[in-house]
Amino acid sequence: MSYTLEGKTGTWEIVVGLEVHAQVISHSKLFSGASASYGGEPNTHVSLVDAGFPGMLPVLNQECVAQAIRTGLGLRARINLESRFDRKNYFYADLPTGYQISQFTHPIVGEGTVEIELGDGTVRHIGITRLHMEQDAGKSMHDQDPTRSFIDLNRAGVALMEIVSEPDIRSPEEAGAYLRKLRQILRYLGTCDGNMEEGSMRADVNVSVRRAGEPFRTRCEIKNVNSIRYVMHAIEVEATRQIEVWEGGGEVDQETRLFDPSRNETRSLRSKEDAHDYRYFPDPDLLPLVVEQAWVDELERALPELPDDKRDRFIKQYGIPRYDASVLVAEQAIADYYEEVARGRDARLAANWVTGDLFGALNRTGRSIQDSPISAQALGGMLDLMADKTINGKIAKEVFEDMLETGDSAADIVERKGLKQVTDTGAIDAAVADVLARNADKVEEYRGGKDRLFGFFVGQVMKAMAGKANPAIVNEALKKVL
Amino acid sequence: MSLTELTIADAAAGLRARKFSAVELVRAHTDAITALNPRLNAYITPTSDAALQAAACADEALAKGEAKPLTGIPLGIKDLFCTSGVRTTAASNILKNFVPPYESTVTANLLRDGAVFVGKTNLDEFAMGSANITSAFGPVENPWKRNGDADTKLVPGGSSGGSAAAVAAGLAMGATGTDTGGSIRQPAAYCGIVGLKPTYGRCSRFGTIAYASSLDQAGPMARSVRDCAIMLQSMAGFDARDSTSVNCDVPDYSAAVGRSLKGLKVGIPAEYRAEGLSAEIEAAWQQGINWLKAAGCEIVDVSLPHTKYGLATYYIVAPAECSSNLARYDGLRFGERVPGATLDAMYEATRRAGFGPEVRRRIMMGTYVLSAGYYDAYYLKAQKVRSLIRRDFTESFQKVDVLLTPTAPTPAFAQGEKTDDPVQMYLNDIFTVPASMAGMPAMSVPVGLGATGLPLGLQLIGRPFDEETLLAAGSALESAAGFTHRPAIRAEGAK
């Protein structure tokens, strides 16, 4: 069922396209040797090139190009073997040269596609228009002094990838799913860390509304939204605003807006008339960027398995449900963890433990898979004890909690606490006899046809044996006697 | 002979033969600067003390037999090349106190080879001009005088006018220039010296203040073809810090000087017989043709049909690039700042005070031709015409090895002339701009004096990276012309 908004005069559909700015993971900046690492004292990662000193020239960092190509391949997009850098001219205090070097007319990556999956299991394909490389600007700080602004150029010149989607997104949920999927792909590829809080991934959101079957109406661009949740809110808020404008007999103006999460509204930043004229033209300091197909092929061969492929392989190889597979491939580290647990073991049981108890425990303790208190090896060891019937499922829960707390191995815990499952039929028979003797009235009722009392007897026997009895043997012994 | 009259080649030999010391040689030039620069204004920043110290080091190297090609040779450096620890102004108020903490690749190469810098030479502001009258540090006077007219001050040409005047007057043995549309060749012609604009990409642009990046090229200016070859040998070469610098071997340029021209095909482009070409220059051109024929060249008529669009195209492309290149002079990180109530007000005040009228004119033209709605009609169209101009040359060079043309339509004119209408000024570059647009190497060689006693230059244009043929043909013109005339104002004469 498609997402719509109800206005006073009828039903509206929303149309969304996203421009995502993703900071490239690289040692140095796009056109200079200065460090591209995050943080650092202000103006400590700045070269003369970044600061736009007279006579300084940009030299393209090949590693950033490789990262853009890897990303393009991950988006199943066309790699343009010849691309070009343009200058986008505007004056601002944190833009030292007075222009941003970007790729305007000839981006390095062309059309691609991202597959998203919605909560109800619907799969949709969102088109990628293009990906291009550009420089980040510096940072203006207006809160350091009552009258002056301070400039930090550490980020000036850091490589960004701008990833532009087609206007294929039709709901806030789809926008969220797209961003999560994009971030997942970037992280798998190791081309962007996807940390929206640190600003290494940010989105410009283009929103319009229309009635079913209509062509596109005027869109507004919401600039620099820095969390997936805010993107989803901003779309809804902006779409609602536009519907009110259209239904009130007005016209939506093409403009740039800002989303204010505290007031849950968007505000006009500048209208189309005030829009900058960026005077794009090819940067004469840089030659056209020509890459060899052989290099692209080499990069492609070295790509890691991508999330969609991994998910499909998990379903096939491990026989686990699609939902579980999707959850397990959310992060490369989770997938790796799972595969180590599942290797040579009951893969479905492994999936249940990882997505169930382990995720629950990580959530509870606020930890990530990387610093999980239970290693994949340790969890595997516990599954081995279940497989060889040393412990049963109930005891396993107890062992797992102990592992979480102490970090001990399952075998040590079982040994220390004496939790080894009892399969000694003599001991079980004795316990059965004891329980039946003490509950002669219930035995009478059971034999009189009250079948459900069987479970009561099992429970009493297990209790008598401190949970350690092999449940199958208990069942068998009870059935024999009763 | 006075030390300020020597060629670089002779001075280098004299130093090695210990006929004179580097200190003596350099002091002769710094003394000349002290004596004549107040009048000529060829230098914005003389660096005499540092030069004499460097000369003392040069003498030590000479004594140890460790002399390099330019050891002890006093050179002027156009004040567009950033020099570490030495003020670099681009002849602009906006950089009037700018001291770069880095060295341009071209000057670093010259220093590596032992050169001694005697000062930073004057130029048109940000290299924008053809008469060296737009400098914020005042105009440069051409050391040449019209016959019987000692009073009228003539322009040295531009933008490398300070370099040309300094070399002509004996205030340097050679100087660096930069050429965007003729800024080496036209002043060389006006001042009676040799100026070579190498192929685009031959010399690194790193550390040279940019005017129009796709055109700017550094080159030597000196009193002989051989001296230009010696200087270019040091200046040229691949530089990983300039993405447009070309990675190909630097040949032995001096070996090309004096090389036989037998069988060389010299093209004479019909389109350079343009309107406004003075009769004396046309005559000098014909004389040059005859000399090359006598040297064994075959003369071939060729056509460069898009020549007439060169100037118009240049005045779209160059301002477009400059409008963007000069955006960094905003008063924020370096250079002069004029405070303002807002950021935009500060920008406006800083740039209004910092840039002169010609620079502002070109920034405005460039901003206009790149604007939305005008880009296709101007910038894009100009780029298309530029490829046609390039194709003209490429096709000509399938038939001939080198082209011979005049360098400029007239000899040097007086200060104050051609200043009312910028277009009149732009027309000085009509013969030099096409080779710049095409990225071809070109050289101006003095071949004689005109009717008023002023030097006339002829231009040779070569195939990309074939500076050797320019040097060979240039030295043939030089020896045939036997150009030994010296300007009225010169170091020797002042003593």
Q: What is the pLDDT of residues A433-476, one digit of tens each?
A: 888 888 888 888 888 888 888 888 888 888 888 887 887 788 88
DSSP 8-class letter at B309 = G
Q: At which residue do the structure tokens 């995720």 appear? A: A359
Interface probe with A: pick from B206, B241, B332, most Cβ of A within 10 Å: B332
**Residue A330's pLDDT is what?**
93
A207-247, pLDDT tens digit by residue?
999 999 999 999 999 999 999 999 999 999 999 999 999 99
Mean pLDDT of chain B: 96
Q: Is B183 one of the annotated active-site residues of the chain?
A: yes
Of the candidates A135, A162, A149, A159, the one whose C-alpha atom is nearest the C-alpha of residue A18 is A162
**Residue B319, CA distances (Å) to A7, A88, A304, A340, B421 in order:** 53, 16, 48, 63, 17
d(CA B201, CA B242): 9
Output the six-digit token pair for A154.
């550490």
On whether any CB of chain A is under 8 Å from the CB of B343, the answer is yes
Sign of dihedral through CA atoms B181, B187, B192, B197?
Answer: negative
What is the least distance, in Å, from the CA of A151 to any CA of chain B? 10
On whether any CB of chain A is under 8 Å from the CB of B88, the answer is yes
d(CA A230, CA B148): 82
| Chain A partners within 8 Å of B211 (Cβ) | none
Q: Lowest mean pLDDT: which of A122-136, A450-464, B119-133, B249-263? A: A450-464
Interface probe with B: pick from A31, A43, A53, most Cβ of B within 10 Å: A53
Q: Is B92 one of the annotated active-site residues of the chain?
A: no
Q: Which of A56, A87, A151 sits opposite B324 (nearest CB)?
A: A87
A271-315, pLDDT tens digit by residue?
777 778 999 999 999 999 999 999 999 999 999 999 999 999 999
| Chain B partners within 8 Å of A53 (Cβ) | 100, 102, 328, 333-334
Helices marked H in B87-212 — which ranges? 105-112, 161-169, 185-191
Q: How many CB pairs under 8 A join A and B?
A: 98
**Taking CB atoms and an 8 Å limit, are B82 and A286 in contact across chains?**
no
What is the least distance, in Å, from the CA of A299 to any CA of chain B? 24
**Residue B495's pLDDT is what?**
41
Mean pLDDT of all residues in A346-375: 94
Percent of the residues in chain B that have a pLDDT greater than 70, as a whole number: 99
Q: Is B262 one of the annotated active-site residues of the chain?
A: no
**Residue B391, CA distances (Å) to A234, A413, B429 in order:** 54, 83, 20
B204-242, pLDDT tens digit by residue?
999 999 999 999 999 999 999 999 999 999 999 999 999
Output the six-digit token pair for A125.
């394909």
What are the b/e assignments for A267-303, b being 16+ CB within 10 Å?
eeeeeeeeeeebbbbbbbbbeebebeeeebeebeeee
Q: At which residue do the structure tokens 């990580």 appear? A: A362
**Taking CB atoms and an 8 Å limit, are A91 and B344 in contact across chains?**
yes
Mean pLDDT of chain A: 93
Instruction: Give the residue, B176 or B416, on which the prediction is more confident.
Output: B176
Instruction: Give the residue, A40 or B11, on which the prediction is more confident.
Output: B11
φ, ψ for residue A129 (rounded to 5)? -80, -45
CA dihedral B467, B472, B475, B476 (to 10 degrees): -140
Q: Lowest mean pLDDT: which of A144-153, A316-325, A444-453, B452-461? A: A444-453
Which DSSP string do the residues of B259-299 spell out, in sequence order?
Answer: ---TT-EEEEEGGGS-TT--HHHHHHHHHHHHHHHHTTPEE
d(CA B343, CA B348): 9
**Residue A457's pLDDT is what?**
85
Which SS3 state, helix, strand or coil, does residue B174 take?
Answer: strand
Say if CB B258 and CB B475 are below 8 A apart: yes
d(CA B267, CA A200): 59
pLDDT at B24 exceeding the cut of 50: yes
In sequence order, the 6+-apart residues with CB closer than 8 A to the CB of B449 are B455, B456, B485
**Which helix H or strand E contains B446, and what residues bound it?**
strand B442-449
Interface probe with B: pick from A141, A151, A285, most Cβ of B within 10 Å: A285
pLDDT at B145 exceeding the cut of 80: yes
The 3 state secondary structure assigned to chain A is CCCCEECCCCEEEEEEEEEEEEECCCCECCCCCCECCCCCCCCCCCCCCCCCCCCCCCCCCHHHHHHHHHHHHHCCCCECCEECCEEEECCCCCCCCCEEEECCCCCCECCEEEEEECCCCCEEEEEEEEEEEEECCCEEECCCCCCCCEEECCCCCCEEEEEEECCCECCHHHHHHHHHHHHHHHHHHCCCCCCCCCCCEEEEEEEEEECCCCCCCCCEEEEEECCHHHHHHHHHHHHHHHHHHHHCCCCCCCEEEEEECCCCEEEEEEECCCCCCCCCEECCCCCCEECCHHHHHHHHHCCCCCHHHHHHHHHHHHCCCHHHHHHHCCCHHHHHHHHHHHCCCCHHHHHHHHHHHHHHHHHHHCCCHHHCCCCHHHHHHHHHHHHCCCCCHHHHHHHHHHHHHHCCCHHHHHHHHCCCCECCHHHHHHHHHHHHHHCHHHHHHHHCCCCCHHHHHHHHHHHHCCCCECHHHHHHHHHHHC
| pLDDT confidence band for A181 (50 / 70 / 90) | very high
Mean pLDDT of all residues in A58-69: 98
Say if CB B284 and CB B378 are below 8 A apart: no
What is the least distance, in Å, from the CA of A29 to any CA of chain B? 14
On whether any CB of chain A is under 8 Å from the CB of B241, the answer is yes
Percent of the residues in chain B that have a pLDDT greater than 90, as a whole number: 95
| pLDDT confidence band for B167 (50 / 70 / 90) | very high
**Taking CB atoms and an 8 Å limit, are A55 and B367 in contact across chains?**
no
Mean pLDDT of all residues in A116-144: 94
On whether any CB of chain A is under 8 Å from the CB of B82, the answer is yes
Say if CB B412 and CB B289 are below 8 A apart: no
Instruction: Give the residue, B415 or A1, on which the prediction is more confident.
Output: B415
Q: Please report how many Cα atoms fall inside a 13 Å half-sphere around the Cα of residue B272, on the Cβ side.
A: 30
Q: Lowest mean pLDDT: which of A380-394, A452-466, B105-119, B369-383? A: A452-466
**Residue A58's pLDDT is what?**
98
Strands B74-78 and B116-121: parallel
pTM for this entry: 0.92
**Taking CB atoms and an 8 Å limit, are B244 and A58 in contact across chains?**
no
DSSP 8-class letter at B385 = H
The active-site residue out of B130, B159, B245, B254 is B159
| Chain A partners within 8 Å of B102 (Cβ) | 48, 53, 55
On whether any CB of chain A is under 8 Å from the CB of B205, the answer is yes
Instruction: Provide the 10 A C-beta neighbour count for residue B482.
Output: 9
**Taking CB atoms and an 8 Å limit, are B243 and A58 in contact across chains?**
yes
Give chain A's end-to-end CA distance (angstroms, integer).
55
**Domain boundaries B14-266+398-494, CATH class:** alpha beta
Of the candidates B192, B201, B209, the one whose C-alpha atom is nearest the C-alpha of residue B123 is B209
What is the least distance, in Å, from the CA of B213 to any CA of chain A? 6
Minimal-distance CA residue of chain B relative to A91: B327
d(CA B235, CA B200): 13
Instruction: Give the residue, A198 or A124, on which the prediction is more confident.
Output: A124
Of the candidates A311, A332, A14, the one whose C-alpha atom is nearest the C-alpha of residue A174 is A14
Chain A residues whose C-beta is within 8 A of a chain B C-beta are 48, 51-60, 87, 89, 91-93, 96-99, 149, 151, 277, 279-281, 284-287
**Taking CB atoms and an 8 Å limit, are A59 and B241 in contact across chains?**
yes
Q: Which of A52, A91, A277 sits opposite B333 (nearest CB)?
A: A52
**Taking CB atoms and an 8 Å limit, are A58 and B208 in contact across chains?**
no
Instruction: Give the residue, A420 or B137, on which the prediction is more confident.
Output: B137
d(CA B344, CA B340): 8
Q: Is the ipTM of this complex over 0.85?
A: yes
Percent of the residues in chain A that have a pLDDT greater than 70, as a whole number: 100
Mean pLDDT of all residues in B34-52: 98
**Residue A427's pLDDT is what?**
82
**Residue B493's pLDDT is what?**
54
Q: Which of A98, A151, A287 sits opposite B244 (nearest CB)?
A: A287
**Residue A111's pLDDT is what?**
98
Interface probe with B: pick from A46, A47, A57, most Cβ of B within 10 Å: A57
What is the least distance, in Å, from the CA of A258 to any CA of chain B? 22
d(CA A67, CA A60): 13
Domains of chain A: 5-298 (no CATH), 303-417 (no CATH), 425-481 (1.10.10.410)
pLDDT at B494 exceeding the cut of 50: no
**Taking CB atoms and an 8 Å limit, are B328 and A97 in contact across chains?**
yes
Facing residues of A22 across strands?
Answer: A161, A201
On whether any CB of chain A is under 8 Å from the CB of B294, the answer is no
Identity of the residue numbered B432: T
The active-site residue out of B78, B120, B197, B418 is B78
**Residue B411's pLDDT is what?**
95
d(CA A110, CA A68): 11
